[in-house]
Structure formats: C-alpha cells, structure tokens
Amino acid sequence: MSRSLAGQVVIVTGASSGIGWELARQIAAEGAKVGLIARRAEPLQELQKLIAAAGGTAAVVVADVGQREQVEAAFRSLNDQLGPVDLVIANAGIGKPTLLDPVNMTDVEDTFRINLMGVIYTLSAALPTMLGRKTGHLVGISSLAGHRGLPGESAYCASKAAVIVYLDSLRIHLRGTGIQVTTVCPGFVTTPMTVANKFHMPQLMTAEYASRKIIRAIKRGKKVYNFPWRLTMIVKLSRWLPDRLMNWIMGDYNEDAAKH
C-alpha cells in the first residue's frame, strides 16, 4: 500500500543538483516539509524559492555530509525549523574515476568519505529522534554499480557496495523499532556527475524520471529498489560471467580512466 508524504518532515542530502534536487522538489509538491542539505548555498536557496513559489515549505542548511559534526548540526537546525524528521534520504554522493599509476588516493578517500561515511553520518543523525518516537524511514541512495565492479570505477563501486551492505545490516538491526530502511540502486541518470562520461550509458534516465520512481518505491515501503529492471538483470548476471568474457564485454567501458 502506498502512503502519503503530505505533512511529513523529509530531509534530503545532496539537494543542490541532480537526483537530490528533483527528489526534494517532487516531495515538497506532495505536501511534505523538506529540509535541504548540500555544500553549495546558492542552488539550495534557489530550490527553496522554487518550492515556496509552488506553495511548499523548505528549509536550507549548508553542510558537508562527509563531516559528522556538520551533519549533526544540520539535523539540529532542521529539527528546530521544521519539527521532528519522518523521512531521511541520504542521497549526496560523488563519482570520480580511480586511476592506476599513481592511484589518485585523495579522490579515493573523498569518494568513501562522501558516498559511504556521508550516508552513515546522515542516517545516524536521524536515529535518536526516530527511535524515541518509534517511527521513521531511512533511505540510502546506492547504485547498480554497487553490485558489480567496473573498470576505472573501483572506489565508486566499492563505496556503493558498502552502502548496500550497511543498509542491509541496519534494516535487520532496527527490526521491531518501527523504523523502515530502504536501499535504492538506480542505473545511469543524467546529472552533473554523469554528464562528463564519454562511454555509452545504457537505459539512461532523467533525474526527474528517476526521482518519480524512487519516491514511489519509498511510499510503498520497498526494502530494496533496483532499477531499471533490464539493466538490473544484466548487472546481476554479469557477476557470474567468466573474467575473460567480462574483459571482452567491458573492453571500451570508461576506457580513458582505465588506462591510467
């Protein structure tokens, strides 16, 4: 059964662009009060004005989700402005190729700090209030890339795989508390992060379309939502293919990054 988001307090990280922007805009249009978190103030304020012009309610806090103290302060501020949080969507993430010689270690560390620890910090900041109220919904945005290592994407794929396993464990740990956990694994989405990709991205989706699908899955209380389904099947099947065949299939995927 699909539930309504009207009247709920929803926090979205990475709301300054891409999926996060669209999730916040669409959720606000359903009557929820939305807390917007990202590192860039100007696009957050622009989104806040857009939501207000449409009759919605949004509050803005600038924070880096990779810094625990900033995340916790952001949640305290949004609780004061909007009230206790009902739904948290840990969406903020980055994607940078992993190079080989030398390994771009700073980028690798940033990827795990934002993509994994940012999710953990975000969801953990929401937990005390939710546990006290015995209700809430935690959502983490992972990726289909978390199901399969890809050339030149070692850190990105590993960080997204870690998010999947972390949320699996958290879901079981929270059994009986009244708190739901949803893992979302989208395929390729047109965002500022993917616009620079030179390789073919099968079943590429717009952020608006992907956000509609994600919101529907959240409202239905899905535990895990992988989409689009055809690409999901291909990715999962690829885990069982011999390395020699995968090397041939993925020969030109992210070729520039894979060579460095």
Catalytic residue, chosen from 156, 166, 209, 225, is 156
* Residues 6+ away with beta carbon under 8 Å from 236: 147, 148
Instruction: Find, among 6, 69, 51, 68, the residue nearest to 60 by Cα.
Output: 51
Rounded distance, CA 172 to CA 219, Å?
A: 20
Instruction: Find, among 60, 38, 40, 39, the residue nearest to 49 by Cα.
Output: 60
Give the number of residues written for the chain. 260
Neighbours of 71 (CB within 10 A): 27
* Residues 6+ away with beta carbon under 8 Å from 204: 187, 188, 189, 190, 194
Q: Is 253 a catalytic residue?
A: no
**Any idea which residues carry the catalytic annotation?**
156
